[in-house]
Amino acid sequence: MNEISIDRFENKPGFTSDLADFDNSKMELHIRADVKNRKLLSELNIEKLWLIGAKEKDIEQIFSLHQPKYVSLYQLLAKDLSCLENLNKCETLITEWNTKATELWNIESNPNLRKLAIRDYSKISDLSELERATQLKSLSLDGGLNKELKVDSLKPLANLTQLEYLRLTSIKVVDESLDPISHLRNLKTLELSNQFPTQEYAKLSVKLTQTECSMFRPYQEVEIKDENGNLIYDRMITGKRKPFLLSAKDQARIEKYEKEFEKLKNNYAQHRV
């Protein structure tokens, strides 16, 4: 995994229910917001904190006691995310599963933040607060397993010119445009789900020639089997509403999609400004 990316399945330490039992020589802590003896946080030297079920007051109190560099917030129960503006020392922030917040916070208030992951926020549609988060080098925006992250536009991302890693999965963008990403010339790795029109991937591949992205190809190799273990699909054609195919019987169709994708790339390359 690229060190600038955020591992979606990061290793967590064992769960601690009472801070009086915590070995304060350890640098990582995994707790619920209602952990016993919470005030002992001020005596710890942890660099990484995994926190579950926190509300606004919990965030304010916990981070007034200690400021880790790495913070993972799961089942964040806060409606007002401005409580996150107090994370002054945080360099990596993962926040996952929030059903209350309708707006992001002023991410500019987190001066040391370099890596940010926002996952499964069902009511966030406006990404405008990200426009000023120019300190970021890594950004992940992901929907949930059962509900996509639905946003109006990716335009605010165009200003994040220091980004080296960007991940957008399980996301529905109303204007269906990937064009704002074309401004991110320092982007080394781009991870995209197959939810945009084919021409958007083709156009972006011409503009970001130094960026690694599996979706800059006419198809992805997959392995989908039926209940008996028989392979039924091994190609996912690039683009929204495009089919899954099996190379053993659909080779002519696959080649047709390959030619169409290359034609799109050539057309965009000729008109590139």
CA dihedral 51, 79, 38, 69 (to 10 degrees): 50
| Rounded Cα–Cα distance for residues 159 and 34 (Å) | 38
Domains of the chain: 19-193 (3.80.10.10), 217-273 (no CATH)
What is the reported pLDDT for 75?
97
- Say what the pLDDT of residue 4 is: 87
Predicted confidence at residue 1, as pLDDT, reads: 45
Pairing of strands 115-121, 138-142: parallel
Q: Which residue has the tokens 């169709």?
A: 253
**Contact in structure between 149 and 142 (CB atoms under 8 Å):** yes
Scanning the chain, the segments in alpha helix (DSSP H) are 56-65, 198-207, 247-270
pLDDT at 64 (0 to 100): 97
Q: 232 to each of 1, 221, 223, 254, how far by Cα in Å?
A: 29, 12, 8, 15
Q: According to the model, what pLDDT value does residue 2 have?
A: 56
* Calpha distance 253→118 (Å, rounded): 37
pTM given for the model = 0.96
Q: How far apart are the first and last CA of the chain?
A: 34
Instruction: For the chain, 273 residues long, give each residue's pLDDT as a single digit of tens.
Output: 458 888 877 889 999 999 999 999 999 999 999 999 999 999 999 999 999 999 999 999 999 999 999 999 999 999 999 999 999 999 999 999 999 999 999 999 999 999 999 999 999 999 999 999 999 999 999 999 889 999 999 999 999 999 999 999 999 999 999 999 999 999 999 999 999 999 999 999 999 999 999 999 999 999 999 999 999 999 999 999 999 999 999 999 999 999 999 999 999 999 864
Rounded to an integer, what distance in angstroms lies between the CA atom of residue 201 and that of residue 177? 9
Check residue 12 and give its pLDDT: 92
Can you read off the two tokens belonging to residue 26?
């350890």
CA 260 to chain centre: 30
Ranges assigned E (strand) in 59-160 = 70-74, 92-98, 115-121, 138-142, 149-151
> What whole-number distance in Å separates Cα of residue 251 and Cα of residue 272?
31
CA distance linking residue 251 with residue 259, whole number of Å: 12
**Pairing outcome for strands 189-192 and 149-151:** unpaired
